[in-house]
Each structure stands twice: as C-alpha cells, then as structure tokens.
Amino acid sequence: MLPPGGWSRALSYLRLRLTRISDQPHRVARGIACGVFAGCTPLFGLHLPLAATLAWAFRGNVVAALIGTAAGNPVTIPILAVLSLDLGRAILGDGLSLPFGEIMTAFGQAGDEITRNIKALFTPAVAHWDKLAQFGHEVFLPYLIGSIGPALLAAILAYWLSLPMIEAYHSLRARQRAARLARRDTPASGTKED
C-alpha cells in the first residue's frame, strides 16, 4: 500500500524532518542507527518504543531514531524476513527455509490466536496457546536470532553513511547563516554615511 502522496512525498517528508533536528551530528546519526536496528527486527508494533529506548540508552537523538525505523518498510521487510529467518534457522540447526508469504501468514495466525485468547479472558471460550508456542519456536525465535546480525550491520552502515551527510548539512547551514548575517550587517550600496 502506498502512503498518501506516494513514496517520494513520504521520503521528502522524512528528509525534511531529519534536517530540522537541531542536535549534534553524531547524536543524530546514533539515533538513526538505533532506529534502523529496531526497524530490522521482527518486533512489529514495538519498533518505535524499541528505537526510542535504544536511542536513549546510547545517547542518540530519539526523534532521529523514530524516523530511522522507516528502514523496516514494505520494500525491505520481505528481504529482511527471509534473510533473517534463514540465518536464524541455520544458527539453530534447522535448515528449513520459508517463503515470505508463509512467514507473514504465520505472523497473522499468531496475531489471531493472541486476539482469541485475550477475548477468552472475558468470555466462556477456552484459550489455546499451542499454535502460538509452535509459532514462537518455529518462526519467531529463529527470525529474532537471525535478525540481530543484519540489523546490527544495517545500523552500523546507517551510522557511517549518515554521519558525514549530517555534518556536511550542518556545515552548509552554518555557512548560509553566516552569509545571511554578513549581508544584513553590511550597509546597502548607494546610502550616505555621516
């Protein structure tokens, strides 16, 4: 599903939000890295709180971290999901691979079971946790373990790519500000001075 206005508008909005963060470049880059790390994990629904917590813990910019979670988007999630799950299963000794559709189906079914079990707390229905336990063992745990490496790599890459760009942008803004002040402080040509 496309965001309102399309992807280019969404990306330009994120760029605008990042350029308006007035913090030290290394803190902004650290925040972006924390957000990218959180966005690459299978903790769907918890990306924003995780990113904010990581940014706070690593003294990064929290707003930049929240923006950095956009790394986990509809374009990257299928690639990350398959890569992370395959890596996690290899680490745990289970070489089975699942296509992206089956991974998302498993997440959907787990969500449905959680919803039914929460409803069972308030109705006479009986809660069943067996499918959720199977999902945790066969999909979620390997995905979580396998996502740590790619998420860490993506976070480091995001930090090292964003830091020089943010420093260059801050330098450009400082030069522009100094030029504006210099123009304002110089008298206009053609005026008489007493």
Q: List the single range of 47-51, 131-135, 140-144 with lowest mean pLDDT.
A: 131-135
pLDDT, average across residues 95-105: 84
Q: Token pair 């707390």 is at which residue?
A: 121
Q: Token pair 């830091």 is at which residue?
A: 163
pLDDT single digits (tens) 137-191? 889 999 999 999 999 999 999 999 999 999 998 888 889 889 988 888 887 655 5
**Cβ partners under 8 Å of residue 150, min gap 6:** 40, 80, 83, 84, 87
Q: Which has more confidence, 124 or 191?
A: 124
136 SS3 class: helix
Q: Is the pLDDT of residue 2 over 60?
A: no
* pTM tops 0.85, yes or no: no
- Report the pLDDT value the prediction gives residue 169, as an integer from 0 to 100: 87
Radius of gyration of the chain (CA): 23
Give CA–CA dist 95/86, Å, rounded. 7
Give CA–CA dist 172/59, Å, rounded. 25
The answer to whether the CB of 98 falls within 8 A of the CB of 83 is no
Give CA–CA dist 186/193, Å, rounded. 12
Mean of the per-residue pLDDT values of the chain: 87
